[in-house]
Amino acid sequence: MGGRHRWLASATLAVLAGAGTVQGFAMSATCTHKFATSPAIVYGTAWKKDKTEDLVFQAVSAGFRGIDTACQPKHYFEPGVGAALARLAQSGIAREEIFLQTKYTPFRGQDPNNAPYDPKTPLDEQVRTSFEVSLRNLKTEYVDSWVLHSPLPTHRENMLVWRAMEAKVEAGLVGQLGISNCYDLPVFEALYKDAAVKPSVLQNRFYADTGFDRELRAFCKANGIAYQSFWTLTANPEALASAPVKAAARRLQCTTQEVFFAFVRAEGITPLCRPAPPPSLPY
């Protein structure tokens, strides 16, 4: 096992030392005005296609109260999330109980034959159109968190998009803003510096190739920004298979996945997970 994975295993054991149970799996969200705050774990909806509605319905029914999606038909099916929210409301779980996060995806991340906006229009218009499509797809009047899916090539373009996103916060339609797939600290710092509405979340892949985003996570911690991880388990098979993590799982009578999720939660990280049924085990 590489040194970086040994660090993860050792840190996991330090977090769990003396613990009798795995902590940190509460999934309830609280509301501030009409916006919900992020729960401890968020349910990811990428690549679920026509199964999205049923899987989201099952996940929320099982206890999840955070949903992550994107206005990116290439990898997400937003209308399925909206259909699930409607079913959940009928079953007694109100929209206000759910932390709903979606994304504006720049054109280079879209299927050019199935983009939710006209790529020939100005960037700010693309952002506005994407948001309108998201609201229709999700059958909602607002979103709790709106994320720029990835940085654009220049800071000027990032800020043009960000200003359009800020306008939705100012209009009371969005609770907070964030950015994803941003692994360059100077890019993130520049966005933070120039933003009127500061980013509240950074969502990145959590894995050894980026040094587990140590510098970025330190910046987030210093500035009160939530760090969300995706591919938390998929990108860390060596850590999950390590002897220390397996030993902790045996001692605590839980899975290695639960041990690792307990570790990232103790590190202040909000993991995204995208289990298939049954959704009781986060993957």
Number of domains the chain is built from: 1
pLDDT value, residue 9: 42
3-state secondary structure string across 21-53: CCCCCCCCCCEECCEECCCCCEEECCCCHHHHH
Residues 139-171 have pLDDT tens digits of: 999 999 999 999 999 999 999 999 999 999 999
pLDDT value, residue 80: 98
- Cβ pair 202, 178 in contact under 8 A: yes
Residues 31-69 have pLDDT tens digits of: 344 899 999 999 999 999 999 999 999 999 999 999 999
Work out the average pLDDT over 62-81: 97
Q: Is 20 a domain residue?
A: no
Q: Is 209 a domain residue?
A: yes
Q: Is 19 a domain residue?
A: no
- Cβ pair 154, 77 in contact under 8 A: no
* Residue with the two structure tokens 């209308």: 79
Residues 179-221 have pLDDT tens digits of: 999 999 999 999 999 999 999 999 999 999 999 999 999 999 9
Distance CA 202, CA 199 (A): 7
Q: Is 278 a domain residue?
A: no
- Give the distance between the most distant pair of CA atoms in the chain: 58
- Cβ pair 148, 179 in contact under 8 A: yes
User: Does the structure show a pLDDT above 90 at 253?
Assistant: yes
Q: Is 281 a domain residue?
A: no
Residue closest to 184 by CA, chosen among 151, 146, 144: 151
- Give the chain's mean pLDDT: 88
Q: Is 280 a domain residue?
A: no
Alpha helices in 152-196 (DSSP H): 155-170, 185-194
Distance CA 33, CA 85 (A): 19
Q: Is 279 a domain residue?
A: no
| 3-class secondary structure, 174 | strand
User: Does the structure show a pLDDT above 80 at 73?
Assistant: yes
Q: Is 17 a domain residue?
A: no
The residue type at 273: C
Phi, psi at residue 216, to the nearest 5°? -65, -40
The residue type at 45: T
Provide the residue range defining the domain that includes 97.
3-9+27-273
User: What CATH number corresponds to the domain at position 197?
Assistant: 3.20.20.100
